[in-house]
Structure 1
Amino acid sequence: MQSTVDPRNVSLPLEKTPLETYVPPAKPSLIGLSREQLAERLGDIGVPARQRKMRVQQLWHWIYFRGAEDFDAMTSVSKETRAQLAAHFTVARPEVVAEQVSSDGTRKWLLRLPSGEKLERPHEVECVYIPETDRGTLCVSSQVGCTLNCAFCHTGTQRLVRNLTAGEIVGQVMVARDRLNDWADRETPAGNRLVTNVVMMGMGEPLYNFDAVRDALLIVSDNEGIGISRRRITLSTSGVVPNIIRAGEEIGVMLAISLHAVRDELRNELVPLNRKYPIEQLLQACRDYPGASNARRITFEYVMLKGVNDSLDDAKLLVKLLKGIPAKINLIPFNPWPGTAYECSDWDQIEKFSEYIFNAGYSSPVRTPRGRDILAACGQLKSETEKLSARERQALRAMAMTD
């Protein structure tokens, strides 16, 4: 099979270097801090040691269970303590700059991150909410831009500005709950949540921002706060092998692998990181992933590229490679973006590919493209507002604020 991949991609660096570092605002947000860190901050502003455990529990409840947006709302905290907190901290989330709603109900938010310095171009990320009949999935970003250069991914064409902090990652979940009115006191007939699942599949490679992603997901899954089960949180990686086992041990969420090719030669082109961590090493890390079982299968993501990786020979080799791994395969119709040279596989070819995998004993759902019309689908995320005029950005922001 002749690859249609642009050979120039082979010369791309495996990883990008961050261009900037995080500078906290003068009055930092408490979002993203662990209980131990909250206790330290309380001590810094003079809260007596004997009160700190109680105050931490109060703050945790108000911030992560009730979604309080300022300290005045925390009525169970003394006025004196609220005043102390407000003088030094906030509970600010990222700012919604623009909100787009797809014809299928998918929502994409462009979020501006607070910074302690004036930036020529403010740091912004995108996150996406996908409503379905049985769940609501939030796709969360881990970096401003991306470390990697995956050839078929729009996000990979961006520079890497910096890693997100734990607070900026948790803040995306909180923004979604704010926008959807999805906190504990939301009135619904069934009392069910709208954001039920979180996937670390937005902008960035999560395992190149390991500590912040770990700390954020431990907060998101905490039963006394946001309370999303670890079985409903999926971390997707392009194959940062050394941190895969760590993710299982220290985070314990579901794992997804952006595989996309079954031969090293092709994967080197599509996912250049493969030149550092080839398929054999990657799959061994999956076999060793703590907690993997038939009840907690590893998801292998496979984007369907016409004439590139969609032959039945590819399907046969995929089944062979995954032998012994509790796995399911998500087939992703390629989502086009401006300037891409790739095409989505023909639908009948996707069905043949899926049928072969299914008959071999693997679940092989074809992921229904969601949010294509607003560039919110898999592989499409990129801050398109970078290209907009000041007037257009202002108009989008006004729309977001009035929704």
Structure 2
Amino acid sequence: MTELEPVQADGGLASSAAPLRAEKPSLAGATREGVGAALADIGTPQREIRMRSAQLWHWIYHRGASSFDEMLNVGKGLRGALKERFSLARPEVVSEQLSRDGTRKWLIRLAPVDGRDRGAEVECVYIPEADRGTLCVSSQVGCTLTCSFCHTGTQKFVRNLTTAEIVGQLLVARERLGDFPGRAPPADGVVPGEGSRFISNVVFMGMGEPLYNLGHVADAIGAMSDGEGLSLSRRRITVSTAGVVPRLPELGERTGAMLAISLHAVRDELRDRLVPLNRKYPIADLLAACRAYPGASNARRITFEYVMLKGVNDSPAEARELVRLLKGLPAKINLIPFNPWPGSPYECSDDATIGRFSQIVFDAGYASPVRTPRGRDILAACGQLKSETEKLRARALLAAD
């Protein structure tokens, strides 16, 4: 990737000339508790912390402030004390890619954690549609799983993202899109075209398995859905998991988020190969946990994601078995045409096969939309995210140790 190239509508790259990251801890991405702790740390009287926290929260998350100097209803002395100890730095946008279909992918560089993983990078994706704008965020650097059809799964796991790093992806995207009230996007940012909306939905479908980082994911959802800040509806936040069965109850109880299950097969023998986590939590156990998922109902259906692999899992018999397995569950089936990546061992099912599969599911009474691939030309579609530079950097750091 080259630096400072303009964004191209045909999938070219662009990089921001972001300054070097500040060494001061950033409050951009902090929880309410974190903001309160920061105020206590600089000697704010206990009786004022709640009020001051609300002021900072509003400026950081509702107004999108990037400097304490913007907080005009905060006293000059307090602003100065905050500036001495903290910053409002967000993760650095290293590069931006724009697909022919309007999808945007950002490569985001994170600050070092405890002096390690210098320059760790993740990807997040913005998908504009006529009725919504969806941001796909990452929860880990790399991935703990090795799903055989997923490009991200070929990248070595480095570490979990912190709450601030997860929320930071939303802050970065809103800044790049001019999605804070009264704020224009930066000179090299682009606002979605007429008829599009800004970010209304967030999906945890980027790099990583969210339930193996549930604490930070849950706290991030809390910050994203706070009505006095970023104000996303929890019904517009979806967490996708390969099926970490023991953590599903906690996800539902702590977050109230919508649930998506990466299913992809109806037989354990096949799912063991496609989603190796199935060897630990087989289909029967996974579906039992889904039936007990807190809040699941016809109004809050569980989405079952099913990638269509040519000659592997796309037969009419498998469609009928899928219907049988999901009987009685408040569910919809999201059929995903396989998105190829360099060296992938699979091909996408043809349109006629996908259509037959979808019709069988639909005739059984389940919604079975076929997801339109978005951002394939920039490797931003489902299962394509991978930061090769991070993988190489992680190897270099391990060698240095």
TM-score by length of 2: 0.88
Report the aligned-residue RMSD.
2.1
Displacement of 1:116 in angstroms is 5.2
Displacement of 1:323 in angstroms is 0.6
CA contact (8 A) 2:29 2:163 kept: yes
The gaps in structure 1 that reach 5 residues or longer are: 1-23, 390-403
In the alignment, does 2:255 pair up with 1:251? Answer: yes
Distance in 2 of aligned mates of 1:206 and 1:239: 10
In the alignment, does 2:90 pair up with 1:86? Answer: no
Distance in 2 of aligned mates of 1:88 and 1:309: 55
Q: 1:273 to 1:326 in 2, by over 3 A?
A: same
Distance in 1 of aligned mates of 2:376 and 2:88: 33
Query: Which range moves more in the overlay, 65-74 or 300-309?
Result: 65-74
- Equivalent residue for 1:306, pick from 305, 310, 318: 310
Deviation sequence 1:182-225 (CA, Å, 0-9, x none): 01225899999500000000000000000000000111011110
Q: Which structure would you say has the larger RCO, counting Cα contacts within 8 Å and 6 or more residues apart?
A: 1
Q: Which residue of 2 aligns with 1:235?
A: 239
CA contact (8 A) 2:121 2:390 kept: no
Displacement of 1:34 in angstroms is 2.5
In the alignment, does 2:106 pair up with 1:106? Answer: no
Displacement of 1:91 in angstroms is 1.5
Displacement of 1:236 in angstroms is 0.2
In the alignment, does 2:353 pair up with 1:349? Answer: yes
The gaps in structure 2 that reach 5 residues or longer are: 1-20, 185-190, 394-401
In the alignment, does 2:387 pair up with 1:383? Answer: yes
| Partner secondary structure for residue 274 of structure 1 | helix
Displacement of 1:307 in angstroms is 0.5
- Equivalent residue for 1:285, pick from 267, 289, 309: 289
Distance in 2 of aligned mates of 1:310 and 1:153: 17
Q: Which residue of 1 aligns with 2:319?
A: 315
Q: 1:53-202 alignment to 2 at 5 Å? A: 53-115=50-112, 122-186=119-183, 194-202=198-206
Distance in 2 of aligned mates of 1:387 and 1:49: 45
Q: 1:191 to 1:133 in 2, by over 3 A?
A: closer
Displacement of 1:90 in angstroms is 1.1
Distance in 2 of aligned mates of 1:101 and 1:255: 28
CA contact (8 A) 1:31 1:171 kept: yes
Distance in 1 of aligned mates of 2:179 and 2:220: 19
CA contact (8 A) 1:238 1:257 kept: yes
Q: 1:146 to 1:116 in 2, by over 3 A?
A: closer
Q: Which residue of 2 aligns with 1:4?
A: none
CA contact (8 A) 1:26 1:116 kept: no
Displacement of 1:359 in angstroms is 0.3
* Number of positions where the alignment pairs a residue of Structure 1 with one of Structure 2: 366
Query: Which range moves more in the overlay, 143-152 or 380-389?
Result: 380-389
Distance in 1 of aligned mates of 2:233 and 2:64: 18
Q: Which residue of 2 aligns with 1:35?
A: 32
TM-score by length of 1: 0.87
Distance in 2 of aligned mates of 1:134 and 1:328: 19
Deviation sequence 1:136-167 (CA, Å, 0-9, x none): 00000000000100000000000000000000
Query: Which range moves more in the overlay, 112-121 or 250-259?
Result: 112-121
